[in-house]
Structure 1
Amino acid sequence: MVEQVFKLSRNDEMAVEKVIFDENVHYLHMVFNKDQGLPEHFSNSNVYMTVLRGKLSIALDEQEIHEYEAGTLLKIPFQTKMNVRNLHDETMELIVVKAPAPKN
């Protein structure tokens, strides 16, 4: 078999899965319920964030919180301050791709 196969969790429990974490790309699958999210941090690469379900509430740098529905893809530049949250009742699911892969 030439391809590698990866499986993502398929439930509503909070998850931050490092699906692919190699020298080329970091591919993460994230699931957050209401009032869950990531600690505030600075992006360590270019970040491509796809909302698969629910609604993403995100504050970037000094901006107010913006909200994005399922089917939305965000491109976030390197070294951007990020505050990623789910502020809604519906479970939020994201795919996050970091490219190029962070060096540290």
Structure 2
Amino acid sequence: MVEQIFKITLQGNGKLVEKAIMDENVHYIHMVFPKNEGLPEHFSNSTVYMTVLRGTLSIGLDDQETHTYPAGNVLKIPFQTKMNVRNLHDDTLELVVVKAPAPQM
């Protein structure tokens, strides 16, 4: 078999951060956040591509005001950007985050 298979959870509304692929090329992370959940404020350790699969993302970057992005949006966030990722809405937020190149540990 040439390909590698990775799986993510496709159902549920509870908080979930699952690291599907974490190799030397890319980090691929699936996240689900109910209302008022999110990530701790942090700085991006790579270029981050964030895809909103469902719900509405509320995100503050560096010193900007919080912006909102509904499902179907893909954000490209530069390396070393301060990020505050939250779900401030009633609907469950689901994201896929791709870090490329993979952060150097």
Could you tell me which residue of structure 2 aligns to residue 34 of structure 1?
35
For 2:3, the equivalent position in structure 1 comes to 3
Structure 1: 5+ residue stretches without partners: none
The TM-score, its normalising length taken from structure 2, stands at 0.97
Counterpart Cα distance in 2 of 1:55 and 1:63: 18
Q: Which runs of 4+ in 1 moved over 2 A?
A: none
Does 2:64 align with 1:63? yes
Cα RMSD between the aligned structures? Answer: 0.6
- 1:35-54 Cα shifts (integer Å, max 9, x gaps): 00000000000000000000
Question: Which residue number corresponds to residue 89 of structure 2?
Answer: 88
Shift of 1:3: 1.4
TM-score by length of 1: 0.98
Secondary structure of the residue aligned to 2:97 is: strand
What CA distance in whole angstroms lies between the structure 1 residues aligned with 2:29 and 2:87?
17
Q: Distance in 2 between matches of 1:12 and 1:4?
A: 27
1:22 paired residue number:
23
Number of residue pairs the alignment of both structures matches: 104
1:73-96 deviations in Å (ceiling 9; x for gaps):
000000000000000010000000
AA in 2 matched with 1:7: K
Alignment identity in percent?
72
CA distance in 2, matches of 1:103, 1:64: 30
